[in-house]
Structure 1
Amino acid sequence: MSSATLEKNSSALADAESSAAHLVTVTFRIRRFNPEISDQAIWEDFQFQIDPKERVLDALHKIKWDLDGTLTFRRSCAHGICGSDAMRINGRNRLACKTLIKDINPHKPITVEPIKGLTVLKDLVVDMEPFFQAYRDVMPFLITTGNEPTRERQQSAEDRKRFDDTTKCILCAACTSSCPVFWNDGQYFGPAAIVGAHRFIFDSRDEGGEQRLEILNDRDGVWRCRTTFNCTEACPRGIEITKAIQEVKRALITRRF
């Protein structure tokens, strides 16, 4: 073997050892549920090595690809945009793709379970239909009258700023499934639906504000909010959800928006 080859192999070995030195042994404690096997959920531990700078989603991929292919969870973009991988990590609603392992103490078991308040279908996957139905019920689209415009509807920067915060919602359900009212009564519209309504109620181009306010004036609407701020803390996009809900309440009282 030539000296060049030996040098190349030594360099590769050194790189591998350097990389391994950064790994930590973690224990992921995952709440498993498979209705085809049992109607009871169980906790299952998985122990493996991983770079602490990796994300929880990377760890779940490692478990599924290398340890247990039956593990079931949702994910798509893996960059905090699609919102499909919301789950409870160490007791808090988070996006698995935005949560670094080093930020949740890898030296203790990391618990992962499905978000609360929605029916669990399998492992970390919940039935999102009730959540999306509440969102559809508030008519999350522009409502206008008159003839179809021949050019775009223009809006001032100041008018756009009025509802800018609530345009950031990615429908991950982290806010709604962190709400104690929603846990106890699935009929409550929930924070995400109210945020969706807020985005159009305060849009100067929209003419459906009164309709949406009447929808949210229902007994399962905004008045069910108890202002616990759970939703605001859970939002991975940093939306001031509790503030938006209060603004909708104020609009209902004053009819000014």
Structure 2
Amino acid sequence: MSTATLDKGKGADRGPVDSAENSASHLITATFRIRRFNPEVSAEASWEDFRIEIDPKERVLDALHQIKWEVDGTLTFRRSCAHGICGSDAMRINGRNRLACKTLIKDINPDKPITVEAIKGLTVLKDLVVDMDPFFQAYRDVMPFLVTTGNEPTRERLQSAEDRERFDDTTKCILCAACTSSCPVFWNDGQYFGPAAIVNAHRFIFDSRDEAGEQRLEILNDKDGVWRCRTTFNCTDACPRGIEVTKAIQEVKRALITRRF
């Protein structure tokens, strides 16, 4: 295991001494232990430590930026909005699936090395980047769009507040894959649709405006569908949006049995 260190230094070009001391007084030295993988260099992954000075109120994503921009430019990870909306920076931080942009350093015990690695169950392409194609294929397979028949309406499709509330929770999904990649069934068998796909099917199955609920239920009635769920609640615990994923899966199972939705 190798270690890289970023030293801010105290040279004469820092600017006013008092200002520099004030700005540095709240910094801590934290160690980030990152699981590195580069198929062009080695077939095996390895851990590498990075010691940096950082404000504990900053996010893990800020630490990754600092490491990439100031220590090792080869560090590879995904991120886009950096505000918990795009879902692209899902990773395992201290053994739990989280969004790096929503995880504060002070909340994950910076007194010990903070481990960062790619999410499980999907092929690692490089460092913290995984192949999301199987995840998005499962999402596409459940028909995540409104299906209706008849002529195109000339006004919006009206829906009561009660009907909208029925599937409100599952509209919050940002497709980060944190739930799916926390599922032991998915780890062992990548053919399983996974929690995220079922959540997005739920969003339309229970939409009163949609007419393809039966079709989606038959898709999820497959051997790799909703019945593979073992109700471990890992998915609910991992969801950064607070979706009751396990509850949604159970509601889909109930709809398959009763054909009421």
TM-score, normalised with respect to structure 2: 0.94
Find the counterpart in structure 1 of residue 125 from structure 2.
121
Q: How many residues are treated as equivalent by the alignment?
A: 247
Structure 1 residues 14-45: Cα deviation after superposition (integer angstroms, max 9, x where no partner): 23212211000000000000000111000000
Find the counterpart in structure 2 of residue 53 from structure 1.
57
When the two chains are superposed, the root-mean-square deviation of aligned CA atoms in Å is 0.8
Find the counterpart in structure 2 of residue 217 from structure 1.
221
Structure 1 position 64, deviation (Å): 0.2
Structure 1 position 13, deviation (Å): 3.0
Aligned-partner residue type, residue 104 of structure 1: I
Aligned-partner residue type, residue 121 of structure 1: L
Find the counterpart in structure 2 of residue 7 from structure 1.
none
Looking at secondary structure, tell me which structure has more helix per residue.
Answer: 1
Find the counterpart in structure 2 of residue 4 from structure 1.
none
Alignment equivalent of 1:75, drawn from 73, 79, 89: 79
Find the counterpart in structure 1 of residue 165 from structure 2.
161
Mark the runs of 5 or more structure 1 residues left unpaired by the alignment.
1-10
Structure 2 residue 142 is the aligned partner of structure 1 residue 138: yes
Alignment of 1:1-257 (within 5 A): 12-257=16-261
Aligned-partner residue type, residue 116 of structure 1: K
State the distance in 1 between where 2:188 and 2:58 align: 35
TM-score, normalised with respect to structure 1: 0.95
State the distance in 1 between where 2:139 and 2:97 align: 19
User: Secondary structure, in 3 states, of the residue corresponding to 2:115?
Assistant: strand
Aligned-partner residue type, residue 190 of structure 2: G
User: Secondary structure, in 3 states, of the residue corresponding to 1:84?
Assistant: coil
User: Secondary structure, in 3 states, of the residue corresponding to 1:132?
Assistant: helix
Structure 1 position 170, deviation (Å): 0.1
Mark the runs of 5 or more structure 2 residues left unpaired by the alignment.
1-14
User: Whose Rg is larger?
Assistant: 1
Identity of aligned residues (%): 88
